Every structure is written in structure tokens, then in C-alpha cells.
Amino acid sequence: MPNIKSAMKRVKVNEKKNAINRSGKSEVKTALKNFNALLEAGDVAACEAAFKNVCSILDKAVVKGLMHKNTAANKKSGFAVRLNALKNA
């Protein structure tokens, strides 16, 4: 445990930020999992709505610093390819 006041504050701030980041990453993972489940089910209309939601959540994660912008773009691109394949099938 730190003895210096600024170090104690840093520990508290880091714990808060860690909790916020964990919550945000969990939200992203849940959205991705739900979208994958809808893709497996083959429901095109629900997939399109979920795709918009996933894109929004990924963009917010990038802004918050939870994810690199290229990682989010790669995920969105992959999901768009899979959604288009479902539409054309």
C-alpha cells in the first residue's frame, strides 16, 4: 500500500478507470456475441439492426480508448462481409 498521498490517489483513480474499462470491454464482447448468434440463426432483419448497434458500440469503444481504431474497423468489415453473405444466400 502506498504511503504518499498522490500515490494513494493514483491507486484509487486506477481502480475506477479499470472498472469502467472492464465494463466497456464487456459491453463490446456481449454485442459481438449477440450479433454472431443472430448470424448463426440466419435472421437478416435482426442482423441488420444488430449490425448498426455493433458498429455504434465499436465506434464508442474507439473514442473511449478501449480499442484501436484499426481493430474496430477490421471487426466491422468482417461483420459486414458476413452480413452481406447472409443476405445473398
pLDDT of residue 89: 78
Residue ranges of domains in the chain: 5-88
Q: Does the structural domain 5-88 have CATH classification 3.20.20.70?
A: no
pLDDT of residue 5: 96
Per-residue DSSP letter, 42: T
pLDDT of residue 36: 95
> In 10 A of CB 28, how many CB atoms?
19
pTM, full prediction: 0.86
pLDDT of residue 42: 87
pLDDT tens across the length of the chain (89 residues)? 889 999 999 999 999 999 999 999 999 999 999 999 999 998 899 999 999 999 999 999 999 999 999 999 999 999 999 999 999 97
> In 10 A of CB 38, how many CB atoms?
21
Asked if residue 67 lies in contact with residue 28, where contact means CB atoms within 8 angstroms, the answer is yes
pLDDT of residue 1: 81
- Kindly list the distances between the CA atom of residue 3 and the CA atoms of 7, 13, 18, in Å, as whole numbers in the listed order: 7, 16, 21
d(CA 68, CA 34): 21
